[in-house]
Structure 1
Amino acid sequence: MKFKMITAAVIVISTGVMASEQGHDMNSMKNGMNHDMSSMKGNPAPMGHDMGSMAGSPGVAKDVSRTIDVSMDDTMRFTPKTISVKQGETIRFFIKNNGKLPHEFVLGTTSELKEHAGMMQQMQGMQMKHSMPNMISLAPSQKSAVLWKFDKAGTVSFACLVPGHMEAGMLGEVVVK
């Protein structure tokens, strides 16, 4: 009986250790992306995503100027595909997954999204969920919000980084004027 309890305890503890190692720190990966967000304005914790080249920063609810509904589905499309905002605006993106597959909404530059998509491709099967201010993972029929302040004029892309989805056309852009 004691042996079974000790064995069960070892399994539980080792499972927790292994699960914690499957986090979002990919600095040691071959072709890994530096995910250090510690210097990002408005980021309360150094979680590991370097978004310094992005046009924007995490939004604050009291500063939201408007809400934009975005739907995503299994046709591998976002609606709307193109969104226009003004420089300095804080937008609440209200995202809904209308599909039967899991999908993501991730804001970034095109190169950041492609690099991150490559990492996600390498990490298939790990069932990672994004929990950064610029991204959200949604199960079928789920809905949630992303708040983002667009500090600079230019174009910011958004995509679903579930392996194969961006490559199938699941991407769009925010034009900041």
Structure 2
Amino acid sequence: MGAVIQVLAFVSISYVWFTWFVWKRRKQVEPMQGMVSGMTVGMMVGLIAGLLFGVLFKGDLSYSTMLSIAAGAFAGLIFGIPLSVLTMIEGTLSGMMAGMMGAMLGEMVPYEQVEPLLFLFVMLYTFCIMLLTRLVGKTAEGSGTSGKRIGFHHPLAGAMVLIGVFLWFQSFPAQSNSTAHETKQSVDLVASDFFYHPQQIVMKKGEEVKVTYHNQGKMEHVVEIMSNGNIEVIPNAAHHNHSHETKSTGELHLYAQPGESASYVIRARAEGVYSFYCMVPGHKEKGMVGSLIVK
């Protein structure tokens, strides 16, 4: 969540700055430059907001789409107000379409692919803002009314900003709830309507791992691990009151009431990849699937 707030803050501050930069030079901005700038701003804000809202409200595509459309359309509309009616229209429509696409991406892409995609969008957004800043600034300079030259006009300034954004993204801490790429002694498995996070869990053969199952959805979600008897729950006084079941076929069930959590200590007897899914009818088909990897 901290990374999301940082990205939103960066996009918001840079949007306000670029809008102010163009507004201040609106009399010297060529009509085509204004329309391209409005389309670019609306589109990139819509894409980034759509991706974030799609991930945050995964499982509720209609809600995330409405929020994303509103964000993109608002950004394009506000940017174009002092420039021209065409800029307002182009920016608004571009923001709406990009918001829809971004929300669908956020809904569809796995969690482990969200950060690289967000990084790509933010870098592209930054590059476009710096390029348009240079173009608008040079046009204003050519008219002789731009006033004091701004350092962002220099090509090296844009490169430095891009490098700064790149290093800023690399400073993000690894997401503790994303796909596990290394063995952990404890794992949080979150269920919502309708997805699991993470979608992969990695553990070692013979290692005891505490799995805390959080049912954050408004519905009942039961995890069924297709382990063929190779995954077992270790009896523990701290967890004996939680409901679990190992059927004769070897499937393991983990359960928690909606809005509650339950903890289990599990151990794998054999290496392999074991799928898990929600056994409530229809939930598996909506994307509530994952895999437990034993090395």
TM-score of the pair, normalised by structure 1: 0.48
Larger Rg: 2
| Larger proportion of strand | 1
* TM-score of the two chains, using structure 2 as the length reference: 0.30
Structure with more of its chain in helix, by fraction: 2
Structure with more contact order per residue of length (Cα contacts < 8 Å, sep ≥ 6): 1
